Amino acid sequence: MKKTILILSAIFVASFSFAQMPDKFVKAMGANIARIDTAKTAQDWIDITAAFERIAEAEKNQWLPYYYVALGNVMSGTMSLGDNMYGNNMDKTDPKADAAEKALNKAISLSKETSETWVVKKMIISLRMLGDVMSRAMSAMPEATAALDNAKKLDANNPRIYILEGQDKYYTPEQYGGSKDEAKVLFEKAQKLFETFKPETSIHPNWGKNQIGYFLSLYK
Amino acid sequence: MKPSIQSLFFILLICISDFLSAQTTIAGKITDKKNPLIGVSITLKDTYDGATSDSSGKYSFKTSEKGEFILTATSVGYRPFEQTIRLEGKGILTIDIVLKEEITELSAVVISAGTFEASDRKRAGVVLTPIDIVTTASANGDVTGALKTLPGAQQVGESEGLFVRGGTAAETKIFIDGTLVNNFFQGGAPNIAGYGRFSPFLFKGTVFSTGGYSALYGQALSSALILESIDLPERTSASFGLSVLGVNGGYQELSKNKKFSWGGAYSYTNLGLAFAVIKQKQDYSKVPVIHNGDFNFRFKTSATGMIKYYGYFAKNSFDFTEKSIDSLGYFDRFGLKNFNTYHNIAWKESLGKKWKMNVGLSYALNQDDIKSGMKDANNNEVILSGLEFKTFNIDADANYYNAKLVLERRLKGISAIRFGGEYNYIDEKSIFTIYNGQQFSARLKENIKSLFAESDIYLTNKLAAKIGGRFEKSSMLDKTNIAPRFSLAYKLSKYAQASLAYGIFYQNPERKYLPSPDNLIFMKATHYVAQYMKLTALRTFRAEIFYKKYEDLVKTGITSGREVAINNDGFGDAKGFEFFWRDKKTIKNVDYWISYSYLDTKRDFLNFPYATKPNFAATHTASVVMKKFVQAWKMQFNGAYNYASGRPYYNIRYDGSKYYFADMGETQDYHNFSISFNYLPKIGKPDAKSFVVYVLQVNNAFNMKQVYGYEYSYNGFRKEQIVPPSRMFVYIGAFFSFGIDRTENAVNDRLF
């Protein structure tokens, strides 16, 4: 009996430590992903990004932490601009866009180009554009469109594609091709896609419902 | 045994919980020595554990790890920090961290004394983008036209070029992709300025240095205009334009892999229509006609390397007469046929992590056929006695070869050293035929070899220095020179900085006064510039004071009826201050800038009897440029006002032994109001297949009289105002471009 218990406990301890890696990884990832929904400020995103960075640095072979590092850098970069979207923001946007790009390339090298990586790629292009809209928009806009096209090519049912399209439509002045009505259609399309969208695992990209909720609330 | 099983489980549980609770707390404060740093990421390397510093720079986290670990702290703009720590599995470990600032291009001070720089990567300072240039109402779509609205440049309208801070147009040199461009302007006529040959849309970067420029450039006493050509186009496109001055069309193809592009353009300019409507002072027997073609290719040699080629051909001709000042009832005739071709190939490449290379080669051929003479009222050519010198032909043929190599090595941080060499070869031939058919031919050959080195040293983000030197050897003068250059920049606050620049600049005597019967040396200028600049997102303020000393300027004399350089006894100085203010913020959708220059200069050069204010220098110069885009109308309104106080004019005569001022005076002040409207009906439609711009531009909209100076008859008895060929000028045009966008096609292919 004693032996059995010892063996059992040995197995228990061994299996515990064996399972620890992915479990600890999934748990740590999950905890940080949960923080995405409540992130409201640039500082929140800086904290989240740092947490993902730590996981990425410790694991090195997982692409997801790098994906979230890229996303986090774009988000904190964009949020740090506040209302000053059309000024000379290069000192804020470029280091963040560079960091995001580096992480995204790492994520792609560990996995492959997916609809999700193209979504983040588009966000990086847009962030960089905000560094100096006047002189960068001309080249950034077609680049951003191309990135979303690639995202659609790989998975046309990725709701995040349409959130970004909707956002662009929403914020672009009407004279420049923006339209709040067309934006609404896109947000609703994204919302509908979320009903059927299933992330591969609990820690794969699944963000965006909050953004849709926010934008649709603006129409009420 | 039952209890013992339980106790075993209990022990096991304790072990596990003990294992779980065996934590070390790591805490501390992060500063840059003075201030707390917020948002710094602290990580226990190779674990998930860590924290981010809060608003007071404090951080704290727990870890269950034991043993030796590396604690890192990283933050953008600071050098990463690492420290090995030992974790005992208990207690509190206090680690305060001081991060050192990292010197980066974005946060570092910009060495800016004397220059207006425009580039995307560096902070957009006083930028004139191609769009800025074509929407500057008084610029006439010309690069130098727009630069004349910046402080430092004179409002000289009777001849082409940039007259900077008391210097002549010949003292400003223009460089494309590093190499010198000769004949940047279309050939003009006496008192009529020629336009720049190159479209503003060929250039992505412009550096206009009004003093104290880099050691990479030379042979310019006053100023350097450094233009960097565009890289690969964004997409394949075709363009077409139609205006009162002519037609143009072009095509650019970008390969599918976006690594190679080629294109070409042709334009035909004929001023017949414009001159029929807007009366000119001159009577044209042949209105100006320009055929202009260009071709380019660009390809990526590696991720960062690129080879760019640009080739240009132009044929330009005109012939006119105007009332002669020398003899009443007669007319002066001036005719020009010009052929110009220019080829530039530039190769840039990164050689490993630390080295960069820039190679530039350019070749230009310029052929002029100038006919000057006199005609009577019946349009017959005549030669009047005493005025025979007015009848002549010049056939000139000039070849220019330039080569330049610049190597750059990155030093610590963003500091760098650049060095290299430049070679300029000039071969100019001319045949001068006088009224009786007698011919004088001249040939000038010049080799200028230069070596240069320059280092950007960033001591901190706040303090940077640029130290350089240039060595030149001229085969024609058989002389060498060494020119030191130095500048310093200090960041006063996040947006403000102060800089200083000093340099010695040498230039060969202007070739139009050569060959000289005497031995000449380099002309020399010494610049001192101090600048204050404040740059915020949408506003720029710049103030600059300068002092410039000229030595060894060329003096001319009359040798066998021709004005030639005789010695280097000329001298002079220039001092002044300038202000520039650009604001895109205060008034919504309005971008405006104001510049003012004060110049106090005197010089004794060429045929001046003594040192005095030269005829191209106005004491006060100012410009106000305004641009407003009305989204609802898709219309851009542009206005510009240029002002210059009166300039001196002189009648310099030769009494057989020396020059003297027979007469002098000052012109009236110069005012020019220009307006332009651009209508862009397709703006803001990202899915539009074509883009159209309609342009209406009115130069000197109030039809004010502008006097550039006075000219004197040969006998000195009569003087006449030098005025523009017409007061007001109206330009109407439409430009279409058709983007052939591959991503667009890709979308359509999938949808249909």
User: For B569-598, what is each residue's pLDDT tens digit?
Assistant: 999 999 999 999 988 888 877 889 999 999
| Statement to judge: residues B141 and B267 lie in one domain | yes
Instruction: Test B743 with A54 for CB contact under 8 angstroms.
Output: no
Torsion, Cα B655 B660 B663 B664, to 10 degrees, reads 160
Tell whether B104 is covered by a domain.
Answer: no
Instruction: Test B4 with A135 for CB contact under 8 angstroms.
Output: no
Looking up residue B328, the CATH number of its domain turns out to be 2.40.170.20
Looking up residue B92, the CATH number of its domain turns out to be 2.60.40.10
B635 Cα to chain A: minimum distance (Å) = 11
Question: What is the ipTM score, two decimals?
Answer: 0.70
Give residue A87's pLDDT. 63
Which chain A residue has its CA at the smallest distance from B204's CA?
Answer: A135
Contact in structure between B185 and B196 (CB atoms under 8 Å): yes
Integer-rounded Cα radius of gyration of chain A: 20
Instruction: Test A145 with B746 for CB contact under 8 angstroms.
Output: no
Give residue B127's pLDDT. 58
Give residue B17's pLDDT. 45
| Statement to judge: residues B119 and B65 lie in one domain | no
Which chain A residue has its CA at the smallest distance from B120's CA?
Answer: A135
Which chain B residue has its CA at the smallest distance from A93's CA?
Answer: B106
Contact in structure between B248 and B240 (CB atoms under 8 Å): yes
By Cβ distance, the residue of B45, B49, B106 closest to A91 is B106
A19 Cα to chain B: minimum distance (Å) = 15
Which chain A residue has its CA at the smallest distance from B3's CA?
Answer: A2
Distance CA B548, CA B217 (A): 18
Tell whether B195 is covered by a domain.
Answer: yes
By Cβ distance, the residue of A55, A87, A176 closest to B538 is A87
| Statement to judge: residues B265 and B156 lie in one domain | yes
| Statement to judge: residues B415 and B473 lie in one domain | yes
| Statement to judge: residues B247 and B164 lie in one domain | yes
User: Hey, is B537 helix, strand or coil?
Assistant: coil
More confident call, A117 vs A177: A117
Give residue B203's pLDDT. 85
Tell whether B219 is covered by a domain.
Answer: yes
* Domain total of chain B: 2
Q: Please, which residues have CB within 8 angstroms of residue B502's CB and are 6 or more apart in sequence?
A: B212, B484, B485, B486, B487, B526, B527, B528, B529
Contacts of A83 in chain B (CB under 8 A): none
Closest CA to B665 of B652, B650, B653: B650
* Start-end of H helices in B315-397: none
Contacts of B46 in chain A (CB under 8 A): 57-58
Parts of chain B with a pLDDT under 70: 1-21, 105-108, 111, 113-127, 537, 683-689, 740-752
Question: In the Cβ-directed half-sphere of A164, how many Cα atoms lie within 13 Å?
Answer: 26
Which chain A residue has its CA at the smallest distance from B631's CA?
Answer: A175
Tell whether B107 is covered by a domain.
Answer: no
Closest CA to B661 of B671, B651, B670, B669: B651
| Statement to judge: residues B132 and B82 lie in one domain | no
| Statement to judge: residues B87 and B184 lie in one domain | no
Mutate which of A3, A23, A57, A143 to test chain B, going by most B C-beta atoms within 10 A? A57
| Statement to judge: residues B336 and B434 lie in one domain | yes
Tell whether B608 is covered by a domain.
Answer: yes
Instruction: Test B537 with A47 for CB contact under 8 angstroms.
Output: no
| Statement to judge: residues B71 and B125 lie in one domain | no
Give residue B123's pLDDT. 42
Tell whether B533 is covered by a domain.
Answer: yes
Place of tokens 């070679």: B423
Give residue B357's pLDDT. 95
Contacts of B751 in chain A (CB under 8 A): none
Q: What element of type H or E holds B258?
A: none
For residue B30, the tally of other CB atoms under 10 A from its CB is 26
Quote the tokens at residue B214: 């880099």
| Statement to judge: residues B452 and B587 lie in one domain | yes
Which range marks the domain in which residue B64 is found?
A: 18-98
Instruction: Test A173 with B537 for CB contact under 8 angstroms.
Output: no
Residue where a domain stops, chosen among B98, B125, B141: B98
Give residue B686's pLDDT. 56
Instruction: Test B538 with A58 for CB contact under 8 angstroms.
Output: no
B690 Cα to chain A: minimum distance (Å) = 14
Mutate which of B43, B46, B48 to test chain A, going by most A C-beta atoms within 10 A? B48
Give residue B119's pLDDT. 43
* Mean pLDDT (chain A, rounded): 84
Residue where a domain stops, chosen among B47, B67, B98: B98
Say yes or no to pLDDT of A17 above 50. no
Residue where a domain stops, chosen among B64, B98, B132: B98
Angle at the Cα of B688 from the Cα atoms of B685 and B693, rounded to 5 degrees: 80
* Start-end of H helices in B165-288: 272-277
Distance CA A87, CA B361 (A): 38
Say yes or no to pLDDT of A8 above 70. no
Instruction: Test A95 with B106 for CB contact under 8 angstroms.
Output: yes
| Statement to judge: residues B430 and B463 lie in one domain | yes
Tens of pLDDT, residue by residue over A123-142, are 999 999 888 777 777 778 88
Residues 74-93 of chain A whose Cβ lies under 8 A from any Cβ of chain B:
84, 86-91
Closest CA to B412 of B456, B472, B444, B475: B456
Q: What element of type H or E holds B48?
A: none
Distance CA A215, CA B507 (A): 64
Distances (CA, A) of B723 to A157, B159, B214: 69, 11, 37
Tell whether B103 is covered by a domain.
Answer: no
Tell whether B575 is covered by a domain.
Answer: yes
| Statement to judge: residues B422 and B488 lie in one domain | yes
Distance CA B570, CA B608 (A): 9
- Kindly report whether the peptide bond that precedes residue B190 is cis, defined as omega within 30 degrees of 0: no
Residue B639 bridge partners (DSSP): B626, B675
Contact in structure between B553 and B566 (CB atoms under 8 Å): no
Give residue B743's pLDDT. 37
